[in-house]
Copies of this chain bind each other. A is one copy, B any other.
Amino acid sequence: MPTPPRRGRGRPAAPVLSRERIAEAAIGLVEEKDYRHLTMSSLSKRLGVSTSALYNHVASKRDVMVLIQDRLNAEIDCSGFDAAPWDEALRLWARSYRRCYIRHTALIPIMAVLPVADSPETLQMYERVAHGLEQAGLDGAAVVDVIVGVEALVFGAAYDASAPADIFDPGSLAELAPTFTRLAAARAEEPGDSAERAFERALEALIRGLDDQLSAEVTGPVRA
């Protein structure tokens, strides 16, 4: 078997690290384990370097998270905006977006407040969505707000989907909340993924409501 490279003390002939390799290793790490195991130490071990070597390529652990997030966002499906009606395209995008972040909720606090200037793939995702919505005839002044609104729902729904199944079981506190307890219990009885159902209901409502708003704002209705 090949001996681990056991590098000497000085600068290697060719760089062994790059931002790309770091991003790849970080994604591998969080997909095998979870975000609690993503440490600068575990990351450097996986890459076969000392921990401090990482800091020649990234500024901080947060920077690593930003790299992950940018790679991830490149995989989100925006294809609907090329052909489908805007409401259907928005649905497909939102579902793909949510599905992605269910397994990466640890990135949400970063992604949600990260300037797009630090994230080229994320920016290009927004471009496809914005271009598609404008092309479909949506009021330009509303486009960014629509993106922000759908995104907000997606992030919240991703958390919800990652919550334990008994999140709405009041346990010994049931008598504090009789109505809620009854409705939550009935909901838990229904088959299937209730977090997904709630998301679909809200997404449908949001899109329908946006359609109504935007139809009212322009002379003709947006929908056919």
What is the interface of chain A, defined by CB distance below 8 A to chain B?
A: 105-106, 108-109, 112-117, 120, 123-124, 126-127, 129-131, 134, 140-146, 148-157, 159-160, 162-164, 166-173, 176-180, 183-184, 186-187, 190, 194-195, 197-199, 201-202, 204-210, 212-213
**Copies of this subunit:** 2
Cβ–Cβ < 8 Å partners of A172 in chain B: 117
Q: How far is the CB of A132 from chain B (nearest CB, A)?
A: 9
User: By the criterion CB–CB under 8 Å, are A205 and B198 in contact?
Assistant: no
Cβ–Cβ < 8 Å partners of A205 in chain B: 149, 205-210, 212-213
Cβ–Cβ < 8 Å partners of A105 in chain B: 109
Cβ–Cβ < 8 Å partners of A115 in chain B: 164, 166-169, 171
Cβ–Cβ < 8 Å partners of A178 in chain B: 127
User: By the criterion CB–CB under 8 Å, are A126 and B177 in contact?
Assistant: yes
> Which 5 A-B pairs give the minimum distances between C-beta atoms?
A152-B156, A205-B209, A149-B202, A117-B171, A127-B177
